[in-house]
Amino acid sequence: MGGKKNAASGASLLTSLVEEGYEAPTETLPEGPPPLSCGGCQYCCDCEARLRWREKIKGDIDDILLRSNLHSCYASNKGSSSSSQKVSKGCTNADGVCTARFPRVIVSESVVTENGHIVLKKKEPMLNTFTPLVTYLLRGNTDVTSLMSGTAVKAVVMYVTDYITKQGLRTYQIFDTIMDTMKR
């Protein structure tokens, strides 16, 4: 919300980590707006408090996006000989191409094509499309897209169904997770 990744990460995250009493927005509940009793005159204390709240929301959204929506490509370490490394899927294939389709194309403004497809504004190639209010309320990774075709809807239904019905963790995976948590 506040600009490109480098500007937002340098300004908000680094200074917020030093601030005393800083709490990551991904670990807190969203704050509601302050009450507005005047009807929106923009000059009274209520209106000024609401403006400060809006600015805080923008900073929280930037912080959440940098913590949870920013994609970084990494290779699989399944073939690694070291037993200390975790087995991870990775997102780059054998050719070094990201299977999650990052970096994404930059789009300067939202448009509707001649075919009726909605192309959302996108200024950061390593972020999914997002809606600021949804990100603020859910406090985590969100991916917002338009489901205007039956194919897109079917793909989402298949993804959710596959995710819900995937097999549970094996016992050794559960114990590994518990041990890693206890070590922290």
Percent residues over pLDDT 70 in the chain: 81
Burial class (CB in 10 A: 0-12, 13-18, 19+), 73: middle
CA atoms within 13 A on the CB side of 34: 17
- 38-47, 48-57, 81-90: least confidently modelled range: 81-90
Note whether 69 and 130 are within 8 A (CB): yes
Which of residues 168 and 109 earns the better pLDDT score?
A: 109
State the pTM of this model: 0.66
Which of residues 1 and 48 earns the better pLDDT score?
A: 48
- Sequence letter at residue 138: L
Residue 156 — pLDDT band, cuts 50, 70, 90? confident
Q: What is the DSSP string of 135-155?
A: HHHH-S--------SHHHHHH
> Mean pLDDT of all residues in the chain?
80
Note whether 34 and 50 are within 8 A (CB): yes
Statement: residue 131 has pLDDT above 60: yes
Statement: residue 77 has pLDDT above 90: no
- pLDDT for 18: 60
Average pLDDT over every residue of 96-106: 91
CA atoms within 13 A on the CB side of 109: 1
Statement: residue 64 has pLDDT above 60: yes
E strand intervals along 21-76: none
Q: CA 137 to CA 133: how far, in whole Å? A: 6
Average pLDDT over every residue of 161-173: 75
- pLDDT for 172: 77
DSSP 127: B
